[in-house]
């Protein structure tokens, strides 16, 4: 009986592992880690080696519970290199507790209250004559455009980010990896 139970448990574990593998196969790898469509934005982001600064910022801003919630959310996720390109000391200043409101504003300017895959964004850009205004949950307005096959986002300061990895499906939305931190107008 014990061998039979072990076989059942092993079979169930293998089926679960294969199901997780199949779900991850549909998504691109991000930061060297598989992204699982059955996990939420935070559960996946913490595994990306390219998003450790973003994860630390989300934690410092107290947004983990929100971005783990039901959504749907579209998150334009800047890489560590994008944060490193900010003026020296900017990230350290933003992560200080006394700057939590400013950090929250910056982060929520990367989040849209919708599940917008790249095809849908591209169609909105086309339907709007080449530029589509994107309203974020932080109150920022981004301008989405196409640069060849890539989607670009212009922030309120004129900074332009390019989507480098699109359509990372999540249980509560989608992540699009970007190469620049989007900033709100002062």
Long-range interactions of 10-19: CB distance < 8 A, separation 24+: none
Q: How far is residue 134's CA from residue 116's CA, in Å, rounded to a whole number?
A: 11
Residues with Cβ within 8 Å of 169's Cβ and at least 6 positions away in sequence, in order, are: 26, 27, 35, 37, 117
Among residues 44, 43, 38, the alpha carbon closest in space to that of 19 is found at 38
Give 66-79 pLDDT, tens digit per residue. Answer: 999 999 999 999 99
Number of Cα atoms under 13 Å in the Cβ half of residue 22: 6
Question: Is residue 23 pLDDT above 80, yes or no?
Answer: no
- pLDDT tens across 127-164, in order? 999 999 999 999 999 999 999 999 999 999 999 999 99
Question: Per residue in 148-158, is it b (16+ CB within 10 Å) or e — as a string?
Answer: eeebbbbbbee
The answer, yes or no, to whether residue 101 has pLDDT greater than 90, is yes
Where do the structural domains in the chain lie, given as residue ranges? 28-178
- Among candidates 108, 106, 115, which has minimal Cα distance to 168? 115
Mean pLDDT of the chain: 88
Q: Is the pLDDT of residue 4 over 80?
A: no
Q: What is the pTM of this model?
A: 0.86
The predicted pLDDT at position 93 comes to: 95
Residue 18 has pLDDT above 70, yes or no: no
pLDDT of residue 25: 54
Q: Which CATH fold topology does 28-178 show?
A: FAS1 domain (2.30.180)
Whether the CB-CB separation of 127 and 119 falls below 8 Å is answered with no
What is the layout of strands, in order, in the sheet containing 73-78?
111-112, 73-78, 173-178, 160-170, 150-154, 141-147, 132-135
- Quick one: pLDDT band at residue 186, thresholds 50, 70, 90? confident
pLDDT(91) > 70: yes
At 44-90, the pLDDT tens digits run 999 999 999 999 999 999 999 999 999 999 999 999 999 999 999 99
Q: In the structure encoding, which two tokens stand for residue 136, read together?
A: 């974020």
């Amino acid at each position: 009986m014990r061998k039979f139970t072990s076989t059942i448990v092993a079979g169930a574990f293998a089926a679960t592992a294969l199901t997780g593998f199949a779900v991850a196969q549909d998504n691109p790898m991000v930061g060297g880690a598989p992204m699982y469509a059955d996990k939420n934005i935070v559960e996946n982001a913490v595994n990306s080696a390219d998003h450790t600064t973003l994860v630390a910022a989300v934690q410092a801003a107290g947004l983990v519970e929100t971005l783990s919630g039901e959504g749907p959310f579209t998150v334009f996720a800047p890489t560590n290199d994008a944060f490193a390109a900010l003026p020296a000391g900017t990230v350290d200043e933003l992560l200080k507790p006394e700057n939590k409101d400013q950090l929250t504003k910056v982060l929520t300017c990367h989040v849209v209250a919708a599940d917008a895959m790249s095809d849908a964004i591209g169609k909105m850009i086309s339907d709007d004559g080449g530029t589509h205004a994107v309203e974020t949950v932080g109150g920022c307005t981004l301008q989405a455009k196409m640069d060849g096959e890539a989607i670009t986002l212009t922030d309120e300061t004129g900074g332009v980010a390019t989507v480098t990895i699109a359509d990372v499906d999540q249980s509560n939305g989608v992540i699009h990896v970007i190469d620049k931190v989007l900033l709100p107008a002062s």
